């Protein structure tokens, strides 16, 4: 594990929760020391999962070397005045890792299911592979749909290359519809390069882990 001294805050709506719920969380955190939120990132290879994590945790885009799998990283997150540990877990999207990947799923609080906004095949695999995989292993665990590389939507050479294959970038509207159809908590998007929307992805992941939609209760993933 690497650990970051970075202090993060989530949107104000968490801080506006009823006092009773805050008190319960405070008592819970005192009894178990600092609570941990485990966030696992999945998606096709080369969609920018590792860049997403490196850019968020180091505040820099990895311009030279991008490892296949980023080291697990922990940051301290302040939620309603209480410290939490946000544990971030990268995974390899290649088929070679299909048997090993689920070993990182137990005790997951929230998944980020990633696709590249300029890779229609990675978007298709969200429905065909990634959501079926995580819901098979962790049916009660909330997940967000995350569009990456949004800076490339307006890149002329990228758009031209897609057009040659009679394809085009994935629009936010299309992604939002898929998120609803697959029962994701929500759709969020970002650019690891420009950091546009980057912090919001993780803020929303934290909220999804702590405030799963009703009537479901928060459940960590447990492999049977």
Question: Residue 48: what pLDDT?
Answer: 94
In a domain, 141, yes or no: yes
Q: Can you tell me the distance from the alpha carbon of 179 to that of 187, in angstroms, rounded to the nearest whole number?
A: 6
For residue 55, the 8-state DSSP code is H
Question: Residue 37: what pLDDT?
Answer: 97
In a domain, 219, yes or no: no
Q: What kind and span of H or E run contains 87?
A: strand 82-89
Question: Residue 77: what pLDDT?
Answer: 86
In a domain, 16, yes or no: yes
Number of structural domains in the chain: 1
Tens digit of pLDDT at every position of the chain (224 positions): 555 544 444 444 443 333 334 334 444 444 457 889 999 999 999 999 999 999 999 999 988 767 666 778 898 988 888 899 999 999 999 888 999 999 999 999 999 999 999 999 999 999 999 999 999 999 999 999 999 999 999 999 999 999 999 999 999 999 999 999 999 999 999 999 999 999 999 999 999 999 866 654 556 776 65
For residue 18, is the peptide bond before it cis, meaning its omega torsion is within 30 degrees of 0?
A: no
Helices 49-58 and 198-210, packing angle to 10 deg? 90
In a domain, 186, yes or no: yes
Classify residue 22 by burial, with Cβ atoms within 10 Å: 0-12, 13-18, 19+: middle
In a domain, 161, yes or no: yes
For residue 154, the domain's CATH number is 3.40.50.300
In a domain, 35, yes or no: yes
Q: Can you tell me the distance from the alpha carbon of 70 to that of 55, in angstroms, rounded to the nearest whole number?
A: 11
In a domain, 221, yes or no: no
Question: Residue 4: what pLDDT?
Answer: 53
Supply the range of the domain harboring residue 96: 2-210
Which residues, including other chains, have CB under 8 Å from residue 87's CB and lie 6 or more apart?
A: 1, 36, 37, 38, 39, 72, 73, 74
């Amino acid at each position: 594990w690497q650990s970051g001294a970075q202090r993060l805050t989530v949107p104000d709506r968490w801080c506006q929760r009823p006092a009773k719920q805050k008190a319960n969380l405070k008592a819970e955190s005192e009894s178990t020391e600092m609570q941990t939120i485990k966030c696992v990132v999945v998606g096709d290879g080369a969609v920018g999962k590792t860049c997403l994590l490196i850019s968020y945790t180091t505040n820099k885009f990895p311009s030279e070397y991008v490892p296949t799998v980023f080291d697990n990283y922990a940051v301290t997150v302040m939620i309603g005045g209480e410290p939490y540990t946000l544990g971030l877990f990268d995974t390899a999207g290649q088929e070679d890792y299909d048997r090993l990947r689920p070993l990182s799923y137990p005790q997951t609080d929230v998944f980020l299911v990633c696709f590249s906004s300029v890779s229609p095949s990675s978007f298709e695999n969200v429905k065909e592979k990634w959501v079926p995989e995580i819901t098979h292993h962790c049916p009660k665990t909330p997940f967000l749909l995350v569009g990456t590389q949004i800076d490339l939507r307006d890149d002329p050479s990228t758009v031209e290359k897609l057009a040659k294959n009679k394809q085009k970038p994935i629009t936010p509207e299309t992604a939002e519809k898929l998120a609803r159809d697959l029962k994701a908590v929500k759709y969020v998007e970002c650019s690891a390069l420009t950091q546009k929307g980057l912090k919001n992805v993780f803020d929303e992941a934290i909220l999804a882990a702590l405030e799963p939609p009703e009537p479901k209760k928060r459940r960590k993933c447990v492999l049977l």
